[in-house]
Chain A
């Protein structure tokens, strides 16, 4: 059975002034998948996600979400359509409490949906419930990542984009984060994951794309990429 296309990127080119950061890439994400975008630092991964969520604009091509071209829709309206972005470095609101961060994640939802959303977040991450009244800046790195993920879930997204959720976390916490991401997929969420940690990312992904200096150089199922010589050499340490 053919699965539904959730996201379809076609020929996007993104510039920062004279810097050509993303060079005409195209890729698709299907319903219920974890798709990874892997690549070294500076490859253009964050730029790609920022373009999809509308923070930066592509000069060309199209970005279709659920069959609708969103390439010129304002960022806050893209969230309303069910596409949420957990940005690099988590970017939680450090001066707001844990609970207020979750409320911001639910900014566009009906008032009646906010409490159930929080309860769901607390079931997923009981640590957050213990700290609900605490200022988010006092959380540990791992807890902040949990909060960033929960905050994004508050909007009840169809597609979640996560930018380097493992960044700066201890290995044991990284494993927990990846378990959560798998669990989210099993709960029916579709996930576009950006990672430098290719091994971890490929271990939970269905498919992946390799990004090198703004170009997609390889793509395939996660299994194919894990077995590919060039990926092993460049990203998996031989």
Chain B
């Protein structure tokens, strides 16, 4: 039964990684940049929900909504203020800017909320479910997180395959110049992508803090980096890839923790990533990168 318990734990953690990775992968696919500040938007989402519930006494659902709205606005602002002026600049300049934005957000959080960790009250009110005469425990957080990840992935898949904006995003992702020649507004499309990514980061932040209830200005860094790894692992730019990468990463992490070593679990996660990339450089579900002439 402990294997099953760990599997559920892995699925649940993996679902959080998947939600974050979906944001990474959308932004990478369409804006062609690694938004290293994505992890810190998670942290801001956590604080927003925390403040809404703790200081304003609002119910969890409203806390989540506030976190999503604030993060969406933040994501759009970051894009337009920090990244848009660098459109067409070398990717190294953009990367350094993203790292700068990440530090900026962490330090802003430090200034506002101090480095003292806050203890986050879970937004999930469900009691843990006991199965198999108490040998298998499924927490409410796990159930909600897994369902959220599946719903989000399905919604994103429908959005990108069925809606006009979603198709335009795929067109921009493939060929920005040609998309402009269709009359697609590139800035608006990229802005929209950041909005979606940041809203997902807010949800991920709230779910992550519900499962690991200490919140500090650096809370977003590690899940951010791991979710980035998950996105690369699954094939950056691919929506099912981000989902698969996130889930696998969570499972590998929890199993390494349980059966090998808690100290080594992160090392094992990255070792698996390196092996996968050596065998399949585009990641598990990544598309072959076309040579541009």
Binding site for B on A (CB under 8 A): 53-55, 74-77, 79-80, 84-85, 87, 89, 91-96, 100, 103-105, 107-108, 151, 155
Encode contact with A along B176-195: 1 for CB under 8 Å, 0 otherwise. 01111111111000000000
Q: Is the CB of B287 within 8 A of A107?
A: no
- Stretch in contact with the other chain, from B7-15, B52-60, B124-132, B163-171: B163-171
What residue in chain B is nearest A53 (Cβ atoms)?
Answer: B181
Q: Which residues of A contact B290 (CB under 8 A)?
A: 94
**Secondary structure at chain B's binding surface: helix, strand, loop or mixed?**
helix
Q: How far is the CB of B176 from chain A (nearest CB, A)?
A: 10
Q: How far is the CB of B137 from chain A (nearest CB, A)?
A: 43
CB contact between B171 and one of A55, A85, A96 (< 8 Å): that residue: A96
Given known A-B contacts A76-B185, A79-B182, A91 and B177 have beta carbons under 8 A apart? yes
Cβ < 8 Å to A, chain B residues 271-293: 287, 290, 293
Q: Is the CB of B177 within 8 A of A151?
A: no
Q: Is the CB of B183 within 8 A of A79?
A: yes
Q: How far is the CB of A93 from chain B (nearest CB, A)?
A: 5
Known: A79-B183, A91-B177, A94-B174. 17 other contacts (CB 8 A): A54-B180, A55-B180, A75-B180, A76-B182, A77-B183, A80-B183, A93-B170, A93-B171, A93-B174, A93-B178, A96-B170, A96-B171, A103-B167, A104-B182, A107-B184, A108-B182, A108-B183
What residue in chain A is nearest B161 (Cβ atoms)?
Answer: A100
Q: How far is the CB of A63 from chain B (nearest CB, A)?
A: 16
In angstroms, Cα B175 to Cα A81, docked, is: 22
7 A–B pairs (Cβ distance < 8 Å), ordered by A: A74-B185, A77-B183, A79-B182, A80-B183, A95-B170, A100-B170, A107-B184
Given known A-B contacts A76-B180, A79-B182, A91-B178, A104 and B171 have beta carbons under 8 A apart? yes
Q: Which residues of A contact B293 (CB under 8 A)?
A: 89
Encode contact with A along B138-161: 1 for CB under 8 Å, 0 otherwise. 000000000000000000000000
Q: Is the CB of A104 within 8 A of B179?
A: yes
In angstroms, Cα B290 to Cα A93, docked, is: 12
In angstroms, Cα B181 to Cα A108, docked, is: 11
Q: How far is the CB of A79 from chain B (nearest CB, A)?
A: 4
What residue in chain B is nearest A100 (Cβ atoms)?
Answer: B167
Q: How far is the CB of A72 from chain B (nearest CB, A)?
A: 15
In angstroms, Cα B180 to Cα A104, docked, is: 10
In angstroms, Cα B91 to Cα A188, docked, is: 45
What residue in chain A is nearest B177 (Cβ atoms)?
Answer: A55
Q: How far is the CB of A164 from chain B (nearest CB, A)?
A: 13
In angstroms, Cα B181 to Cα A93, docked, is: 12
What residue in chain B is nearest A89 (Cβ atoms)?
Answer: B293
Given known A-B contacts A76-B183, A76-B186, A95-B287, A104 and B177 have beta carbons under 8 A apart? no
Q: How far is the CB of B94 from chain A (nearest CB, A)?
A: 20
Q: Which residues of B contact A79 (CB under 8 A)?
A: 180-183
In angstroms, Cα B178 to Cα A8, docked, is: 23
Q: Which residues of B contact A155 (CB under 8 A)?
A: 182-183
In angstroms, Cα B180 to Cα A155, docked, is: 13
Q: Is the CB of B181 within 8 A of A107?
A: no
Cβ < 8 Å to A, chain B residues 217-245: none
Given known A-B contacts A103-B164, A107-B164, A75 and B170 have beta carbons under 8 A apart? no
Q: How far is the CB of A147 from chain B (nearest CB, A)?
A: 12
Encode contact with A along B255-267: 1 for CB under 8 Å, 0 otherwise. 0000000000000
Q: How far is the CB of A225 from chain B (nearest CB, A)?
A: 29
